[in-house]
Chains A and B, each alone.
Chain A
Amino acid sequence: MNINTTKIISLLFFIFSAFYLYTAYQIQVFAFDENAPFNAKTFPIYLGYVGLFFSGLKLILPDPETIKVEHRNLEYKKTAILIIIAIIYGATILKVGYFLTTSFFLFGSYYFLGERRWILMFLLSFPFVAAFMYLLHGVLEIYLRDPFLQLIGVMG
């Protein structure tokens, strides 16, 4: 059997399905429901077995074509930075507020992706977010929590 990344993914999926199946068996159902034809764990149990079946098949059957990914050509660094910025954005959005975090997220992302046209970067972050926020909060009346704008008295 030829080991390639697709096979490794299939193996991981097989392990994941086994874990899912184990967890499905651990679901606590009501005592009166335990022997019912269908309860809260019936469908997940079937799913676990189906997952094992398909990933097992993918593991043992030969691949018609091997997908080769040229890792040297992939931009892992920039992608990782963007993901980290997104995580920081997610972590601060509630505490700092929508306006500041979103604006800094956009500005930072433009910068790390190599953009250096400062005026355009500014226009497409702070004023853009303000306009978008007005559309959501002001026009569509969708509540957006923003402690920062509340602190400076812009938002009620």
Chain B
Amino acid sequence: MHNKSVAELSKELDSGKISSVELAQQFLDRLKQEDGKYNSFITISDEQALAEAKSADEMRAAGKATVWTGVPFAHKDIFCTNGVRTSCGSKMLENFVPPYDATVTEKFKAAGAVCLGKTNMDEFAMGSSNESSFFGAVTNPWGLSNGEKRVPGGSSGGSAAAVAARLVPAATGTDTGGSIRQPAALCGITGLKPTYGRVSRYGMIAFASSLDQGGPMARSAEDAALMMNVMAGFDPKDSTCIDRDVPDYTATLNEPLKGLRIGLPKEYFSDQLSPAMEAQVRNAVREYEKLGATVKDVSLPNAKLAIAAYYVIAPAEASANLSRFDGVRYGYRCADPKDLMDMYTRTRAEGFGNEVKRRILVGSYALSAGYFDAYYLKAQKVRRLIQQDFINAFKDVDVLMSPVTPSPAFIQGEKTTDPVSMYLEDVFTIAINLAGIPAMSVPAGFVDGLPVGLQIIGDYFSEARLLNAAHQFQQVTDWHQREPQ
């Protein structure tokens, strides 16, 4: 059962060959047996999962089943789940049990899906290797057979590793600078960062509010489309969510790609990209040409400024968002505070890890009196230049294609001592968040036995087209079906 897609599991349940409770139990047993190798889950919520599975069986018996009813999946531990610990990978929230559900959580519950637990992640979604988690690093299922412990990417590294290892068919993720696409690429799965405002951020613990966006992580574009059908849509509880019709993302998966105009941004095929990676990406583009697409070179002249703009905007917004963790209403509080200032400063020094503290300090510095114009305002202006590059590119092409990462999954510990070298991991993904447009990572080959991702970038609200392009590619390739040994 663990190798079946969401659609296939749904059919098994519909046929009555297996009940939701039996299916949940099988997945839970396997998860507990296997996850010691990966550490991809922070919390396995057996009790709630079995209760949800029981409700799912009742829903099906009452003729109210959706595609998702009884299908197991997992949430990144950033989505609040009523009654189930939500840690965001931090000691600060080690014992935080939310009294409410995120909108995304609520939507999966309403569809009857069965959440098996909460996946590991970089602390407060800050990282590209899942090594900043208070609950320990996640190990990429790829490379393990050679005795290598490689990173799964981050910040949604637990979700990516769990899907790659067939512990769950699908999991939610969030993407602020590449946190869905980069781990999807390094683990050989399919991930989509939707347009900013397409998926509600309510109850999704905030990192950088003008960039954060939740999205699907699954083995195929078809399953990602099924997830989008649940996740996308307007939510009055999120003031930045967009009120716009949601298409059926599965309806257009089979449209032919003849005439699709692909642009290759020359800045994303630079020296930073290893020749072996470039060869895989170009091979994938050739597959698209065989499917009838046309290809031309395009330029994003301001893309080189994206990392610099991001490392002002994201830390600045994080420093404001994370000011709520003060030891008063919930979360960690230091022992025996001698006064209020001592309580605040020790609670935050003890509760946050090093990367989170670095970013809060950079952000506070960038926002402090005398520096605001030079840093935050300047970065917001550069952000518009970056957006304008994409708007111009989409006048001539339908989608852009590029690598997701400069190289495949690296060995754990390789980049932890140098924050800036870790930041450069997101060199091809960050501009997309700044512009607010959607982009996918699709398995597109291997280098040294490790998965390579193809990034497909689209204009605002073009998720259906991206999923269509990814699905058609997956009809003529089998990279997405390869399984780590």
Q: Do A and B bind each other?
A: no
Mark B residues whose CB is within 8 Å of A: none
Mark A residues whose CB is within 8 Å of B: none
